[in-house]
Amino acid sequence: MFDPNKEWSISFAGCGFMGIYYVGVISCILERFPRFIRDAAKIYGASAGALMAAIITLGIPLDKCCSDLMRMAKEARKHKLGPLHPAYNLLQLVQESLLEKLPEDAHLRVSGKLSLSLTRVSDGRNLLVSQFDSREELIQALICSCFVPLYCGVVPFNPSQYYVDGAVSDNLPRCQLGRTITISPYAGESDLCPRASTLTFHEVRFNNVSIQLNSENLYRVTSTFFPPEAEAMAEICQNGYMDALRFLQENGEDSFLVFLQR
């Protein structure tokens, strides 16, 4: 059970377009227990999870981020090959969104609390980056954490350093000291995630993310790379809200509220 008297961190798994799930999760938490995010020692993230980690660390309104994600998904669905179409540049859209929404002092506000998972191409080693010297460096790190080899292109976004998607080496980073609350849009053993409603025979681990093998997760993995229709994405968002509500209730939401009133 979550103990608000002890230090905790939060970690978001990489999940592509399934990041809409996090919009629902965070909407619920901000409504009912904002201290869960505000007082977290560190907020970790890989790939799309890194973007959400940065968004909540900076306190950027979720509605704006949701609109951007839905727009990116809509643009991808216009092409027969979806995000793989040569005319579609996902990382460019992400960069434009970051340039528009991140404040000038973003790097100062997140340094020390935000921790981004990156993979170094030269040796495949995972790096957790928490210090940023400029807004540009922060944006570059976020883009690198989202660079899925082949899916996003061949040459990494930052050729001088050759960092790619953190999900390649650690898709759900954890704090070595203290408790890390793990959040994932895939049914599995993460602290906050969907529950499987269909029969599950096996479980796999993709770079620290627990994923049960069932038809529901197959759909979620497919939606990670190829966004479904807007109605389906809205349902995924709603599911995130309800899963977060269940997490708070099962871990003592009432005790959280009493604690906040002290």
Residue 148 lies in a domain: yes
pTM across the whole model: 0.90
Residue 1 lies in a domain: no
Q: Which domain holds residue 76?
A: 8-260
Residue 44 lies in a domain: yes
pLDDT at 258: 44
The band of 204, judged by pLDDT with boundaries at 50, 70 and 90, is confident
pLDDT at 5: 67
pLDDT at 156: 53
Residue 3 lies in a domain: no
Residue 68: φ, ψ to 5°: -65, -45
The yes-or-no verdict on residue 1 having pLDDT over 60 is: no
56-80 as b/e, with b when 16 or more CB fall inside 10 Å?
A: bbbebebeebbebbbebbebbbeee
How many Å apart are CA 72 and CA 94, to the nearest integer?
Answer: 8
Q: Residues 139-161: what's their mean pLDDT?
A: 75
In the structure encoding, which two tokens stand for residue 38, read together? Answer: 């505000």
Q: By percentage, how much of the chain surpasses pLDDT 70?
A: 89
pLDDT at 192: 96
* pLDDT tens per residue, range 206-219: 888 999 989 899 99
The yes-or-no verdict on residue 133 having pLDDT over 60 is: yes
The band of 203, judged by pLDDT with boundaries at 50, 70 and 90, is confident
The yes-or-no verdict on residue 257 having pLDDT over 60 is: no
The yes-or-no verdict on residue 154 having pLDDT over 70 is: no
- Lowest mean pLDDT segment, chosen from 85-94, 129-138, 147-156: 147-156
Q: How many independent structural domains does the chain possess? A: 1
**CATH number of 20's domain:** 3.40.1090
Give the DSSP letter of residue 84: G
pLDDT at 17: 96
CB 239 within 8 A of CB 184: no
Residue 216 lies in a domain: yes
How many Å apart are CA 256 and CA 261, to the nearest integer?
Answer: 9
Cα–Cα distances in Å, from 209 out to 41, 172, 183?
21, 6, 9
Most confident of the ranges 103-107, 176-180, 258-262: 103-107
Residue 2 lies in a domain: no
* pLDDT tens per residue, range 66-107: 999 999 999 999 998 899 998 999 999 999 999 999 999 999
CB 33 within 8 A of CB 249: no
The yes-or-no verdict on residue 261 having pLDDT over 90 is: no
The yes-or-no verdict on residue 151 having pLDDT over 90 is: no
Residue 242 lies in a domain: yes
Show which residues are catalytic: 47, 165
Q: Is 153 helix (H, G, I), strand (E, B) or coil?
A: coil
